Amino acid sequence: PPCFQPSTEFIDEMPPQWPWLQPAAAAAAARRATPFVLRGRRCSSSVPASVCASAPSGHAREQEDEQSLVVVGGGAAGVYASIRAKTLAPHLNVVVIEKGKFLSKVKISGGGRCNVTNGHHLEPSGLARNYPRGYKELRGSFFRTHGPQDTMHWFSDHGVELKTEEDGRVFPVTDNSASVVDCLLNEARRLGVSLQAGKSVSGASVDANGKFVVKVEKRTIDFVDYISANYVLVATGSSQQGYSFAAQHGHSIIPPVPSLFTFKIADKRLADLSGVSFTRVTAKLMLDGIQKSAPELTQTGPMLVTHWGLSGPVVLRLSAWGARELYQDKYQAKLVVDFIPDIHIEDVKRILFQHKDQHAKNKVNNAFPKEFGLVKRFWGFLLEQESLDGDMHWATVPKSHLNAMALRLKQWMFEVVGKGQFKDEFVTAGGVPLSEISLSTMESKKQPNLFFAGEVLNVDGVTGGFNFQNAWTGGYIAGTSIGTLASKSILKEEQACLQLQGS
Ligand SMILES: Cc1cc2nc3c(=O)[nH]c(=O)nc-3n(C[C@H](O)[C@H](O)[C@H](O)COP(=O)(O)OP(=O)(O)OC[C@H]3O[C@@H](n4cnc5c(N)ncnc54)[C@H](O)[C@@H]3O)c2cc1C
């Protein structure tokens, strides 16, 4: 049985017309769709009309069938796939149905700059380690077929100059996502892809010839249309409708939960530190019921204090690796932070004792060890935690307090009490299991000619451009498979026509 359980928290609406965890209702809807299967038949442009015209009428109808692809979802994966398929098979009718605006996430991503990919992890197995869901499966051919370098080449070949920042994130040199959006949409249009916005796909049935009958609706007005298609690509991101579509065709859905979020911390005094950042901490996430912590639940890198908790790359990576367990534990956990990961605790103590001797006459608030690389606000906070008055002199600080400070700096325990929002990036863990599709083609193992790409799959990456890379790679592979199938099919069609002509 499908393991899908709708989350009440963040998934968008369940389409009332396909309440499709109830198979009887779905079947009835599919029956309603079937009579529309003969829509859109024209003679294929690559088969000479005279050849087809000479064929017996029954055959001719089959041969005259245009090959068509419906892409559900005009995000990164859907648009990239449509371009690839249409490039390989120019005769293929490609329509992308988008319920909102095309490439809306690309537009807002990276704070409006679009973090297209990551330039520091070019080798597939190293790259795959950045995907809490997918790290095993994506190690092989997936990124080898179309990795970050291919993505960067693609964009620069299509006029979008890119730059790689120090931390590996790749952005357009314009620092404006509009250049990425325009490039993709212009290329799709140039190739003749039909881009239809403001329409939503609510399901599809498969007719007796194995063709899809895709149900398209408009929300605003009473509009229902049915499109006949040889191939369907589901690239619906984290939309509920995409999961429903997948389940309708026999897929199970791993329950979607949020990933890439900040931590709400119980300590209200932390708010005083809002805006303080640390270039390098090591943080360990301690989850209930997990005795031996996975290595990924310890992360090192920059961290930021917000007015209600902790954020920054370290926290986001932990939120991704612990996404499912945190969800189960209602976002209650412990976070142990080492603020000076490069100095051993015994050395921290030694530095503090030395400092006490060398700065005996100085106030503790004004002079503190530079080796720790801490900012004054944080040092003041630390003194407060130890109930030390900032005006006291170093000479009067008891050694026991120095030991306690060293311990706190190396193993500060915070109570995580909830999930915050992270506006720059947010993804969904869960979706169609990778075991149910072929990663070399992105085709469903349940339904021939049905393909998936992007976030609809149970793949998500940490922050840094990895999520878009999954969308580009999946879209590219799906587009290649569909384009190749469509080309082979037209070749067969032409051969059949020529045979008929000869007979
Ligand atoms: C604010 C924000 C910033 C981000 N920044 C980055 C970043 O800088 N770098 C990075 O790597 N990742 C980033 N991400 C994650 C990244 O945007 C996603 O991983 C990526 O967009 C997934 O691409 P997709 O094509 O699979 O899905 P989406 O981009 O979500 O596209 C799916 C599309 O399908 C449409 N759709 C859904 N259901 C239907 C239907 N039934 N009929 C028709 N259309 C439908 C949706 O409207 C949507 O446009 C960010 C995410 C957010 C929310």
Which of 239, 243, 421 for mutating ligand 1's site (highest number of atoms within 8 Å of CB)? 239
Tell me: the pLDDT tens digits for 381-406? 999 999 999 999 999 999 999 999 99
Tell me: the pLDDT tens digits for 255-283? 999 999 999 998 888 888 999 999 999 99
- Name the phi and psi angles at 314, rounded to 5: -60, -45
Q: Confidence band (pLDDT; 50, 70, 90) for 37?
A: very low
What's the 122 CA to ligand 1 centre distance in angstroms? 23
Instruction: Give yes or no for residue 195 CB within 6 A of ligand 1.
Output: no
Q: Confidence band (pLDDT; 50, 70, 90) for 33?
A: very low
Torsion sign, CA atoms 454, 455, 460, 466: positive
Q: Is the pLDDT of residue 465 over 60?
A: yes
Instruction: Please give the pLDDT value at position 364.
Output: 95
Q: Is the pTM of this model over 0.75?
A: yes
What is d(CA 59, CA 492) in angstroms, rounded to the nearest whole number? 13
Tell me: the pLDDT tens digits for 108-158? 998 899 999 999 998 999 999 999 999 999 999 999 999 999 999 999 999
Instruction: Give yes or no for residue 78 CB within 6 A of ligand 1.
Output: yes
Question: Which tops the pLDDT comparison, 258 or 60?
Answer: 258
Which of 162, 212, 424, 425 for mutating ligand 1's site (highest number of atoms within 8 Å of CB)? 425
| pLDDT average, residue stretch 169-173 | 98
Which of 155, 200, 236 for mutating ligand 1's site (highest number of atoms within 8 Å of CB)? 236
Atom of ligand 1 nearest to the CA of 454: 26
| pLDDT average, residue stretch 201-227 | 92
The amino acid at residue 265 is I
Instruction: Give yes or no for residue 165 CB within 6 A of ligand 1.
Output: no
Q: Where are the domains of the chain?
A: 68-258+427-496, 263-419
What's the 195 CA to ligand 1 centre distance in angstroms? 16
What's the 237 CA to ligand 1 centre distance in angstroms? 5
Query: Which top CATH class is 68-258+427-496?
Result: alpha beta
Instruction: Give yes or no for residue 99 CB within 6 A of ligand 1.
Output: yes
Instruction: Give yes or no for residue 98 CB within 6 A of ligand 1.
Output: yes
Tell me: the pLDDT tens digits for 247-257? 999 999 999 99
Tell me: the pLDDT tens digits for 416-459? 999 997 777 789 999 999 999 999 999 999 999 999 999 999 99
What's the 449 CA to ligand 1 centre distance in angstroms? 23
What's the 14 CA to ligand 1 centre distance in angstroms? 18
Instruction: Please give the pLDDT value at position 495.
Output: 79
Q: What rounded mean pLDDT belongs to the chain?
A: 87
Q: Confidence band (pLDDT; 50, 70, 90) for 326?
A: very high
Q: Is the pLDDT of residue 195 over 70?
A: yes
Instruction: Give yes or no for residue 217 CB within 6 A of ligand 1.
Output: no
What's the 125 CA to ligand 1 centre distance in angstroms? 24
Instruction: Please give the pLDDT value at position 292.
Output: 62
Q: Is the pLDDT of residue 244 over 90?
A: yes
Q: Atom 19 in ligand 1: which residue has the minimum CA distance?
A: 467
Instruction: Give yes or no for residue 135 CB within 6 A of ligand 1.
Output: no
Which of 98, 108, 109, 432 for mutating ligand 1's site (highest number of atoms within 8 Å of CB)? 109
| pLDDT average, residue stretch 213-229 | 91
Q: Atom 22 in ligand 1: which residue has the minimum CA distance?
A: 455
Instruction: Give yes or no for residue 431 CB within 6 A of ligand 1.
Output: no
What's the 466 CA to ligand 1 centre distance in angstroms? 13
Instruction: Give yes or no for residue 427 CB within 6 A of ligand 1.
Output: yes
What is d(CA 268, CA 270) in angstroms, rounded to the nearest whole number? 5
Tell me: the pLDDT tens digits for 293-304? 788 999 999 999
Instruction: Please give the pLDDT value at position 1.
Output: 29
Q: Atom 27 in ligand 1: which residue has the minimum CA distance?
A: 237
What is d(CA 204, CA 244) in angstroms, rounded to the nearest whole number? 11
Instruction: Provide, rounded to the nearest whole percent, the portion of the chain with pLDDT above 70.
Output: 86
Q: Confidence band (pLDDT; 50, 70, 90) for 291?
A: low
Are 121 and 148 within 8 A, CB to CB?
Answer: yes
What is d(CA 458, CA 324) in angstroms, rounded to the nearest whole number? 12
Beta bridge partners of 213: 205, 228
Question: Which tops the pLDDT comparison, 465 or 32?
Answer: 465
Atom of ligand 1 nearest to the CA of 118: 11
Instruction: Give yes or no for residue 200 CB within 6 A of ligand 1.
Output: yes
Taking CA atoms, 488 is separated from 91, 113, 151, 186, 229, in Å, by: 12, 40, 26, 27, 16
Instruction: Please give the pLDDT value at position 430.
Output: 98
Q: Confidence band (pLDDT; 50, 70, 90) for 489?
A: confident
Give Cβ neighbours of residue 492 (< 8 Å, ≥ 6 apart).
none
Instruction: Please give the pLDDT value at position 61.
Output: 39
Give Cβ neighbours of residue 157 (< 8 Å, ≥ 6 apart).
none
